[in-house]
Amino acid sequence: MSTAPAVAEPPKAEAWHTRSAEEALAGVRSAATGLSAAEAAKRLEAEGPNELREGRRVSPLQILLSQFKSLLIWILIAAGVTSGLLGERIDAAAILAIVLLNAAIGFFQEYKAEKSIAALKKMTAPQAKVLREGGLVSIPAARIVKGDILALEAGDLIAADARLLEAASLKCVESALTGESEAAEKRAGVLEGGDVPLGDQSNMVFMGTSIAAGTGRAVVVATAMETELGRIAGLIEEAGARGATPLQKKLDSFGRILVWATLALVALLFGLGLLRGTKPFELFMTAVSLAVAAVPEGLPAVVTVALALGVLRMSRRRALVRRLPAVETLGSTTVICTDKTGTLTVGEMTVRALWVDGQSYEVTGDGYGPEGEVRCGGGKAAGAHAAPLLELAAVLLGCNNARLSQEGGAWKVVGDPTEGALLAAGAKAGGEARGIEEKLPRQKEFPFDSDRKRSTVVRRKPDGSLRALTNGAPDVLLKLCSSIYTKAGVRPLSDQDRQGILAQNAAMAQGALRVLGSAVRDLGGALPADASAESVERDLVFIGLSGMYDPPRPEGKDAVASCRAAGIRVVMITGDHPGTAMAIARELKIAAGEDRLLSGAELGKITDEDLRRDAPKVAVYARVTAEHKLRIIRAWKANGAVVAMTGDGVNDAPAIKGADIGIAMGKSGTEVTKQAADMVIADDNFASIVAAVEEGRGIYDNIRKALQYLLAGNSGEVLLMAVSVIAGLPAPLLPIHLLWINLITDGLPALCLATDPIDSDVMKRPPRRRLEKITDRGFITTMLLTGFLTAGVAFAVFLFMLKRGDVGAARTYAFTVLVYAELFRSFGNRSETKPLWRIPFLSNLNLVVVVSVSFGLQVFSHHSEMLGRILRTSRLPFSEGVWLVAAGLMPLVVLEVVKMIRVPAREE
Active site residues per annotation:
339
Left (φ > 0), alpha (ψ -120 to 50) or beta: where does 61 sit? alpha
> Residue 708, CB half-sphere, CA atoms under 13 Å: how many?
28
Query: What angle do helix axes 417-428 and 386-398 make, rounded to 10 degrees?
Result: 150
| Element of type H or E holding 339 | strand 335-339
* 3-state class (DSSP) for residue 487: coil
Report the alpha-carbon distance of residue 231 to residue 627 in Å, rounded. Answer: 9
One-letter amino acid of 272: L
Report the alpha-carbon distance of residue 562 to residue 558 in Å, rounded. Answer: 6
CB-count burial class (<10 Å; 0-12, 13-18, 19+) for 100: exposed
* Residue pair 703/739 in contact by the 8 Å Cβ criterion: no
Pairing of strands 135-140, 127-132: antiparallel
- 610-619 as b/e, with b when 16 or more CB fall inside 10 Å? ebbbebeebb
Question: Which segments within 764-879 are labelled E, that is strand?
Answer: none
Question: Which segments within 421-525 are labelled E, that is strand?
Answer: 442-449, 454-460, 466-472, 481-486, 489-492, 514-524
For residue 897, CA distances in Å to 603, 781, 887, 894 come to: 56, 15, 16, 5
| Element of type H or E holding 166 | strand 161-173
* β-bridge partners, 454: 449, 472
CA angle at residue 623 from 621 to 626, to 5 degrees? 85
* Residue pair 210/173 in contact by the 8 Å Cβ criterion: yes
* β-bridge partners, 405: 412
Report the alpha-carbon distance of residue 715 to residue 695 in Å, rounded. Answer: 30
Closest to 198 in 3D by CA, of 628, 671, 647: 628
Closest to 308 in 3D by CA, of 112, 107, 76: 107
* β-bridge partners, 407: 410
For the chain, the maximum distance between any two Cα atoms, rounded to a whole number of angstroms, is 121
3-state helix, strand, coil in the chain (%, to 5): 50, 20, 30
Closest to 357 in 3D by CA, of 424, 434, 429: 429
* β-bridge partners, 152: 216
Indicate the Cα dihedral angle 117, 8, 176, 207, nearest 10°.
Answer: -70
What secondary structure does DSSP assign to 695-715, as a single string? Answer: HHHHHHHHHHHHHHHHHHHHH
- 571-590 as b/e, with b when 16 or more CB fall inside 10 Å? bbbbbbbbebbbbbbebbeb
Query: What angle do helix axes 807-828 and 878-902 make, rounded to 10 degrees?
Result: 40
Report the alpha-carbon distance of residue 728 to residue 701 in Å, rounded. Answer: 40
Closest to 292 in 3D by CA, of 485, 83, 102: 83
What 8-state DSSP symbol labels residue 345? B
Phi and psi, residue 199, nearest 5°? -70, -15
Number of H helices, E strands in the chain: 33, 28
